[in-house]
Amino acid sequence: MTTTMVRDLLRQRPFRPFRVVMSSGEAYEVRHPEMAWVTKNDLFVGIDVADDGLPADARICPLFHVATLEPINTDARAG
């Protein structure tokens, strides 16, 4: 995974939520572009978002361990 790929997803307008799947199988959802931050080697993902919209914690996802970035289907009609 590259920083460019992640930044492109975060900069999409309209933003489309996505899931970060790690090589370990763990997965984290990014439902808003302000809930993820990219550095040269890592992706920080905010988790446990409270009612005020702020994450209670963050996970550090080394980019070389990101297996895939998957779109999250937000279409209420899908099922």
pLDDT tens profile 36-71: 999 999 999 999 888 888 899 999 999 999 999 999
Local confidence band at 23 (pLDDT 50, 70, 90 cut-offs): very high
Cα–Cα dist 29/35, whole Å: 9
Q: What totals of helices (H) and strands (E) does the chain contain, helices first?
A: 1, 6
> What's the whole-number mean pLDDT along residues 17-27?
97
Check: CB of residue 53 under 8 Å from CB of residue 3: no
Q: What is the pTM of this model?
A: 0.85
**Domains annotated on the chain, with CATH:** 3-71 (2.30.30.100)
What was the pLDDT predicted at 10?
96
Check: CB of residue 61 under 8 Å from CB of residue 43: yes
Q: What percent of the chain lies above the pLDDT cut of 70?
A: 92
